[in-house]
């Protein structure tokens, strides 16, 4: 039973590390790898006039 508890504790630790790496990867992708021009273009979408743009 003690070995099962140790295994569960190791898996919990590995899970925490995996989630942290995944989160840091998402942050890196969002802030570093996404082109700034694309983000700025998407940021102006609510301010555009619907009549002047064709769909």
Whole-Å CA distances, 43 to 6, 8, 11, 22, 47: 49, 45, 41, 26, 8
Q: Per-residue confidence at 49, pLDDT binned at 50, 70, 90?
A: confident
> What tokens appear for 32 in the block?
């570093």
pLDDT band at 18 (very low <50, low <70, confident <90, very high): very high
Q: Which pLDDT tens digit goes with each residue over 26-45?
A: 999 888 887 888 888 888 99
Specify the pTM. Answer: 0.55
């Amino acid at each position: 039973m003690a070995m099962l508890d140790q295994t569960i504790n190791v898996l919990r630790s590995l899970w925490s590390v995996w989630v942290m790496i995944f989160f840091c990867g998402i942050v890196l992708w969002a802030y570093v790898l996404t082109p700034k021009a694309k983000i700025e273009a998407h940021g102006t979408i609510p301010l555009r006039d619907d009549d002047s743009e064709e769909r």
